[in-house]
């Protein structure tokens, strides 16, 4: 079982991830892309990062908006360091998509 983060560790993670919020034991982030295909391409690319970690976010996609929530099942649905690491990887993927709209290379 993974170890849940302490409140001070969560605060530190949020300082490192300023676009993320912490609510209901989850790290949450919303993204807006130039188009629905770009949003789907982001989800696919991000999915490879999640799969490599064997750690899968909750994903909601409507039109060009993507909302993610990270929590750890093996820590009784609490936040762990693995969630924070995946959030950092997701941020790196999002940077790859900044300003793109499919039609461009996605």
Buried b (16+ CB within 10 A) or exposed e, 12-48: ebbeebeebebeebbbbbebebebeebbbbbbeebee
* Parts of the chain with a pLDDT under 50: none
Whether 89 is covered by a domain: the verdict is yes
What pLDDT does residue 106 have?
Answer: 58
The reported pLDDT for the residue numbered 98 is 84
Find the CATH number of the domain harbouring 55. 3.30.1360.20
CB 38 within 8 A of CB 106: yes
Q: Does residue 106 form part of some domain?
A: no
Residue 65, pLDDT score: 97
Q: Please state the domain count of the chain.
A: 1
Which pLDDT does position 105 carry in this prediction? 53
List the domain range (segments joined by +) for residue 47: 7-97
């Amino acid at each position: 079982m993974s170890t849940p983060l302490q409140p001070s560790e969560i605060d530190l993670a949020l300082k490192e991830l300023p676009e993320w919020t912490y609510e209901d034991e989850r790290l949450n982030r919303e993204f807006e892309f130039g188009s629905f295909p770009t949003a789907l391409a982001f989800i696919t690319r991000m999915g490879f990062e999640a799969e490599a970690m064997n750690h899968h976010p909750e994903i909601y996609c409507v039109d060009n908006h993507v909302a993610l929530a990270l929590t750890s099942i093996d820590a009784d649905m609490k936040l762990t360091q693995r969630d924070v690491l995946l959030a950092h990887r997701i941020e790196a993927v999002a940077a790859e998509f900044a300003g793109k709209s499919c039609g461009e290379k996605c």
